[in-house]
Chains A and B, each alone.
Chain A
């Protein structure tokens, strides 16, 4: 009896391993689950916080203009003067052609313009009170993509 006790005492210390020692067989998943959760949340946070945002640069001309009217004809070149307004729930644009066009048509027209002609062209944007900001940005965006310099009245 005492020899048995002595033998168990003199046994080398048991090494720790990834397998649990409480009669269960298999790796201990808890640390891995913790780390995976942290990584998952980190990427979710990075996607949300870091970004996907950028900005468009717009000039603010010195001459202040509170009106939403645009002649569209007596303009110094090279300038494209567009005025957005709402007509029966539809966003229209005046200043490109003789009559007002739908916003989508104007975007398509500007997209189809020759980039060499657009380079250096000043796109001056104005809008009536009810025009959503996103519509102004969409015209700004397509103008910028063609190399125009955009100013907002």
Chain B
């Protein structure tokens, strides 16, 4: 019985059929993108509050994203940060690119005692507006 090989011998030429490999690689890439995103969300452990009103993303610049978990752990653009360093970091970012929107991603169960200090820090910096990220209510 003739064995099948990855080398195609039709028409007398020997070529590797790469189509299945491309398929598999594409699936793997998409899989890792998906898992990476899910893992990031899980690491942040943030369940957003829902809202029936809101504004869709239109900003041309990357916003400054402050995350707060229900346990009060804070992050700046995905990296964990303490409150006392938050002001310096955000100030630096705003100095480099003024007008950058500041966005808050806080868990819906986060007690306000963890959120208020962030508002106060932003207020003290002169940030007059903050965008509260929510999940679209169906």
A, B co-complexed: yes
* Chain A min CB distance to B53 (Å): 5
Q: Is the interface of B mostly helix, strand, loop or mixed?
A: mixed
CB of A92 within 8 Å of the partner chain:
no
CB of B9 within 8 Å of the partner chain:
no
CB of B33 within 8 Å of the partner chain:
yes
* Chain B min CB distance to A60 (Å): 5
Closest B residue to A130 by CB, please name it. Answer: B111
CB of A75 within 8 Å of the partner chain:
no
A53 near B134: Cβ-Cβ < 8 Å? yes
Q: A34-B20, A41-B27, A131-B112 are in contact. Are A56 and B55 (CB under 8 A)?
A: yes
Task: Return the contact of A130 from the options B49, B103, B108, B113 (Cβ within 8 A).
Answer: B113
Q: A55-B55, A60-B119 are in contact. Are A137 and B134 (CB under 8 A)?
A: yes
Task: Return the contact of A38 from the options B27, B56, B122 (Cβ within 8 A).
Answer: B27
Beta-carbon contacts of B25-59 to A below 8 Å, as 1s and 0s?
01100110110011000000000111111111100
With a cutoff of 8 Å between Cβ atoms, the chain B residues found around residue A127 in the complex are 112, 116
Give the size of the chain B interface in residues (CB under 8 angstroms): 52
Closest A residue to B103 by CB, please name it. Answer: A55
A136 near B23: Cβ-Cβ < 8 Å? no
Q: A41-B30, A60-B129, A133-B106 are in contact. Are A53 and B48 (CB under 8 A)?
A: yes
A132 near B112: Cβ-Cβ < 8 Å? yes
Please choose the segment from A1-9, A44-52, A113-121 that sits at the chain B interface, where 4 or more of its residues have CB less than 8 A away: A44-52
B128 near A45: Cβ-Cβ < 8 Å? no
29 pairs from A and B in contact (CB 8 Å cutoff): A34-B27, A38-B23, A41-B27, A42-B30, A49-B34, A49-B37, A53-B48, A53-B57, A53-B135, A54-B51, A54-B133, A54-B134, A54-B136, A55-B55, A55-B57, A55-B103, A55-B133, A56-B131, A56-B134, A58-B130, A60-B123, A128-B112, A129-B112, A129-B113, A131-B112, A136-B115, A137-B134, A140-B51, A144-B54
10 other contacts beyond A64-B123, A132-B108, with CB at 8 A cut-off? A45-B37, A54-B54, A54-B133, A56-B54, A60-B119, A60-B128, A62-B123, A133-B112, A137-B51, A140-B132
Chain A residues proximal to chain B, CB less than 8 Å: 13, 16, 22, 30-31, 34-35, 37-38, 41-42, 44-45, 48-49, 52-62, 64, 66, 84, 127-134, 136-138, 140-141, 144-145, 152
